[in-house]
Amino acid sequence: MHVMFAEAFLVFGCGYNGVNHQGNLGSTKSQILSDISYYQNNYDYLAVVDFDHGIGRSDYLHYFHPEWGPPFNEEFHYMFEDDNGTIWGPHYQQQPHPEHGVYDTDIWPLVQDNKIVFAFINTCMSAKLTSQTGNPSIGQGYLDAYWPTIPARYEGMPYAWTHRLVKDKSMQGFNVARHISIDGYNDPDCRPQVYIGFPYGSASLMQRIPYDEGTNIYQYWVSQFFGHALYEGRSVNQALKEASLDTWSKSFEESPLQGDGFTAYWWPDMEGEGSTMAVYGNGNIFLKNYEPHFVSTPVVAGPDEGYASVPYEFSACSIDPSGHDVRYTFNWGDGSENVTGWYDSGEVVTMSHSWSSDNVYYVKVKAQCDQGLWSSWSSLHPIAIGDFPILTVDACSIQHGTLWVPLWIDDEYVGSTPYSCYVSGGSSHKIEVLDDLYVHVFQYYYYGSYSYNNPITLSITSDKTVTAYYYSYY
């Protein structure tokens, strides 16, 4: 694993796979969000490491969201920046470009539940729990309903990456399915997620801690932390403790990062007192060789086409890292489901099904270990019963070529572009890709003309290719 001191998205799957966006053309908002979506859909072990500027902005017009309704201006949201930055110009002459922030509202719709997540967001206010526009007594970024079109909703980076609200475990109503422990170091919860960030100012990698008198710079502590966590296979909490002992001869809770002595410093002359590092969730998880009671999202295989009343065989395979037995639920897309018996972890399971009428059906499978925990549903596997046209959806950027962005067909998430599947011929289909209204415009080319809509609705009578072209305004 490589720890990069900029936007670095590091993903743990079978072995390690990482993407670094440090100082290159790939560090654009659309590509960062595309990577988040891709890895969320293809891996169960995920880590995000980000060293960047941030805090948040209220001058960003976020995209239309099906639960929120139309865009809502002047709403404060926490964010970190892409490589272009939210302020441009010689010597930062206050030329705002909020569209280059990667916001909590951009992230959380892409993040799936039941993933093993380690998020280390070294950005100012990345762990702040109240917003400037929300009700601070309620907690993390809660936004009251904006009558009549926008219901109450949540914001904040911890919620974006975990889908759980930060709360003290001792408080009435704490539910681990909806809440993440406010003290993942001393009082961790039992879910396989941990979030590390700064409720106020974040540390510069090159500053000495304690500020201006410490014998070691912050980068030394960061290197020690990841060294213990990855090379020595320590838990997150053990690595926090041992890195602090190495750096300051103090345990983590007694170190400047948690106790007294940490002042965030930003060159050339800005200081932020009262900064501490927050650890939310379960600090007992391991970044290496982590074995929770967890079962991976099944890998599904089967035919793409067939005929009515003929049985077709589908296979599924899932892994429980602790070696527990696994069973599967097959959802056939026609309102019926079948549950298998128990199988060894990693064993390929097959099941047959027939459909009574011509249509395009979407098969999905989820797995359960014998400890009771369920995986996420697999990606949809379409099978065309009868003769139907093929829809192909691509996305590309003028600057960066092919983009792997989330795709919805008929309001169902089906995967990332490029994507091909059978669709019902002669009927209308709603096609939607990840939208970023402020930075890009989407042009779908079809039938010899352009459409500037996202989503679009097409009546498809034959094989058709639709492409979303991303054009930067700048």
CA nearest neighbour of 117 among 199, 236, 241: 236
pLDDT in tens, 102-143: 888 888 888 887 677 889 999 888 988 875 555 544 556 666
Q: What is the mean pLDDT of the chain?
A: 78
pLDDT for 266-283, tens place per residue?
Answer: 665 666 666 889 999 888
Tally the C-alpha atoms within 13 A of residue 210's C-alpha that lie toward its C-beta.
Answer: 11
Q: What percentage of the chain carries pLDDT values higher than 70?
A: 74
Nearest residue to 382 (alpha-carbon basis) of 406, 360, 366? 360
pLDDT of residue 315: 92
The residue with greater pLDDT, 16 or 190, is 190
pLDDT for 274: 66
266 vs 440: which has the higher pLDDT? 266
**DSSP characters for 411-438?**
TEEEEESSEEEE--TTSEEEEEE---TT
Angle between helices 218-226 and 236-248 in degrees, nearest 10: 140
Q: Two tokens at 73? A: 């201006």
Residue 437 and residue 456 in contact, taking contact as beta carbons nearer than 8 Å: no
pLDDT score, position 437? 38
- Say which amino acid occupies 369: C
More confidently predicted of 123 and 452? 123
- Residues 313-364 pLDDT 10s: 999 988 776 667 899 999 999 999 999 999 987 788 999 999 999 999 999 9
At residue 61, the pLDDT reads: 58
pLDDT at residue 71, rounded to an integer: 47
pLDDT tens-digit series, residues 222-267:
999 999 988 887 889 989 999 999 999 888 988 999 877 688 876 6
The whole-model pTM stands at 0.64
Selection from 298, 311, 397 nearest residue 352 by Cα: 311
Nearest to 281 by CA among 163, 369, 138, 373: 163
Instruction: Write the Ramachandran bin of 415: left for phi over 0, alpha for psi from -120 to 50, otherwise beta.
Output: left
> Which positions ≥6 away from 14 have C-beta within 8 Å?
none
372-399 residue pLDDT tens: 888 878 878 889 999 899 999 888 776 5
DSSP 112-179: PSS-EEEEEEESTTTT----SSS-TTT-TTEE--BTTTB--EE--HHHHHHSSEEE-TTSTT--TTTE
Mean pLDDT of 49-69: 67
Please check whether residue 35 is in contact with residue 46, taking contact to mean a CB–CB distance below 8 angstroms: no
Residue 88 has pLDDT above 80, yes or no: no
C-beta of residue 281 within 8 angstroms of C-beta of residue 272: no
Give the Cα-Cα-Cα angle 256, 120, 131 (nearest 5 degrees): 85
Q: Output the pLDDT for position 444.
A: 54
* Separation between Cα atoms, residue 80 and residue 222, nearest integer Å: 19
The confidence score (pLDDT) of residue 68 equals: 47
- The tens digit of pLDDT for each residue in 405-424 reads 778 888 887 777 888 889 88
Lowest mean pLDDT among 6-15, 42-51, 161-170: 6-15
Work out the pLDDT band at 309, boundaries 50, 70, 90: very high
Domains of the chain: 7-202+275-281 (no CATH), 299-385 (2.60.40.10), 390-472 (2.60.40)
> Could you tell me the pLDDT band of residue 14, with boundaries at 50, 70 and 90?
very low
Is the separation of the CB atoms in 123 and 55 below 8 Å? yes
DSSP three-state, residue 197: strand
Residue with tokens 């890709």: 433
> Pairing relation of β-strands 305-306 and 381-385?
parallel
% of the chain beyond a pLDDT of 90 = 21
**Predicted pLDDT at 93:** 57
2 pLDDT tier (thresholds 50, 70, 90): very low
Residue-wise pLDDT for 71-87, tens only, equals 455 677 888 888 778 87
For residue 354, which of 378, 377, 330 has the smallest C-alpha distance? 330
Q: For residue 242, what are the CA distances in angstroms to 48, 126, 204, 277, 387?
A: 21, 24, 21, 16, 63
Q: What angle do CA 440, 197, 54 make, to 5 degrees?
A: 35
Query: Who's near 141: CB < 8 A, 6+ residues apart?
Result: 78, 104, 128, 129, 130, 131, 134, 154, 155, 156, 159
